[in-house]
Structure 1
């Protein structure tokens, strides 16, 4: 259940940042691609940025505006495909740039991802500057001549960075170490992971430094927000189908982290249940209905005992959630709804057995030699 008014509240913060800083914002589709609410987002954002060919096309066809294409590794077929839709194409390595640069001539502005070797990320798994990172070109491989054939560059160095000061420290390092290269460029993307919609975030401070950075190097700056736009807007609504006890009570719900909220499992970050209470005396494991033994949403407490048939709201279930839904165990896929700001509830999508079956095989597929 997406709440349109909560989404609008985040978008108003995005609008304020744009007005104060001059930065452009492109939605990171790898985080959120539910195009049924793109009509709400379009007036506030400048376009989309992608991590694979299908995202590029989705952004161009369903969102419009600027369409940025990036991939860790393009095939020639991928490049030819995405150039039908994108305005900017960003390569991950010098070898990819050299192999495919000629295909982009006159079709799209060309950029290169740079790895600054520093970052603000809570977990190593999500740290783009982790040891032996494959993401972006390392500083020691750069030359002045390389930038003569580039229009722009992309840095991605944040993951849920909730501190303007921490971001400024990273930006100062980039200015010092990469400044002579940036002076040759028309645009620079500073990636995503800047949580400027977090409560009490110093948005004006962020805007001031972004504006100064852009003016210093005479470039158009971009940010690629995902979570910042859709944080706290969406609940995964589940139903308690059973309550079992083996040392402690477990409420089994009609969902699974492995199928419907994968990052809860991957990053070992317990979900938040809206109905729970820290002062509650009734403690439960909120367990999934999948066959994976350790598949659970969280351990939390309630003021009253849970009952079979009761609905629970798993909060903040938009970012890196709907884009990762899968059919593990043949579980029913959650339908997607939006509560519009006028109070009306609109169904954006629902899924059937046919969707499950055709995701695995289709009959009469021709053989490939």
Structure 2
């Protein structure tokens, strides 16, 4: 692995992701605290963050990984270790053959998938089933797993206690960036009451991700004690599947201003695009925050991408001074659901990925070029 001296930081070519190890450790220490209070095990959600060059920092704090597809299972098994949890909305026969020798737990999304694959994998891993609790804490309907007609998980009305003859655990995932511990405890109580007959026959339960316990001021002790009481009541090993909570506020997407255009508003064109490099900004209409911006700045700009998509912009904000061509901007909190969603739309230059270590040195985790672009489309 290439390591750059800390003095090289200012000379890095944009666009690039810069992951800060100390910020990552700060979140992981909160995860450690939660584990100690609750007795829960935490497995990293690779669907949110799979940048495996950082795993040596994360591994001492977490218990393994959880996945949403076969390649994530393999990556977690090979590069992280610990427990490897495999979940998918739908497994093919080939998928099951690929994941069963790598997985400690295989979680099915439906009764039909469980029944179809049961004989194929019952001796290879502890099996689980995803349940739809029919209530959730999710701000966006697009991300709400309990939305009407949801395909995610089995409703209680379709369950029978005989399912516990085939599975050792259930998985509930019903949160998305939930900062409200009381709202989570309300859902936890609902699960405890509604599914009590099942829980008492299981050995483990995953409560999924989306619990924002690293948010500033979050009452970690209250969450931990609620999880501990739940675990002891039902004699279960509880798992959480944090993704965003582990890597929030750990990385910036660093871009450069390459043009400034005016059409009633001034737009600073940067050498990146939401469509290609920060897709959730576009999907969820959640504007980026810019480190260099000023709340009371007198110079407003649209921060626009260099893609051809007309509505592709990062945010609107203001600055204390006019922006200059060549100036670098840091788009904050750009770790989650970014690097795992990178694409080659417009043939734009892919951001490099750097890891700023505690000692200030910078590890080059990946850099991309034309051959990488070409190689995704043929060989």
Partner of 2:156: 139
8 Å CA contact 1:112, 1:154 repeated in 2: yes
Identify the match of residue 76 of structure 2 among 42, 49, 59: 59
1:5 aligns with 2:25: no
Identify the match of residue 15 of structure 1 among 24, 32, 42: 32
Partner of 2:249: 232
Partner of 1:194: 211
1:166 aligns with 2:165: no
Q: CA deviation at 1:149?
A: 1.7
Partner of 2:335: 318
1:342 aligns with 2:359: yes
Partner of 2:10: none
Partner of 2:172: 155
Q: CA deviation at 1:325?
A: 0.4
How many Å separate the matches in 1 of 2:122 and 2:262?
64
How many Å separate the matches in 1 of 2:119 and 2:322?
65
TM-score, normalised with respect to structure 2: 0.95
Partner of 1:95: 112
Partner of 1:185: 202
TM-score, normalised with respect to structure 1: 0.98
Partner of 2:6: none
Partner of 1:70: 87
How many Å separate the matches in 2 of 1:84 and 1:238?
42
Q: Structure 1, residues 92-113: CA drift from partner, whole Å, max 9, x if none?
A: 0000000001111221000000
SS at match of 2:195: helix
How many Å separate the matches in 1 of 2:244 and 2:196?
29
SS at match of 2:43: strand
Partner of 1:367: none
Identify the match of residue 377 of structure 2 among 353, 360, 369: 360
SS at match of 2:371: helix
Misfit runs of 4+, over 3 Å: none
Q: CA deviation at 1:81?
A: 0.6
Identify the match of residue 323 of structure 2 among 299, 306, 313: 306
8 Å CA contact 1:148, 1:184 repeated in 2: no
Q: Structure 1, residues 124-143: CA drift from partner, whole Å, max 9, x if none?
A: 00000000000000110011
SS at match of 1:161: coil
8 Å CA contact 1:50, 1:69 repeated in 2: yes
1:48 aligns with 2:69: no
Higher relative contact order (CA 8 A, sep 6+): 2
How many Å separate the matches in 2 of 1:121 and 1:61?
32
SS at match of 1:235: strand
How many Å separate the matches in 2 of 1:126 and 1:241?
34
Q: CA deviation at 1:345?
A: 1.2
Partner of 1:264: 281
Unaligned runs of 5+ in 1: 363-369
**Aligned residues, how many?**
362
Which piece of structure 1 moves more, 186-195 or 98-107?
98-107
How many Å separate the matches in 1 of 2:147 and 2:153?
12
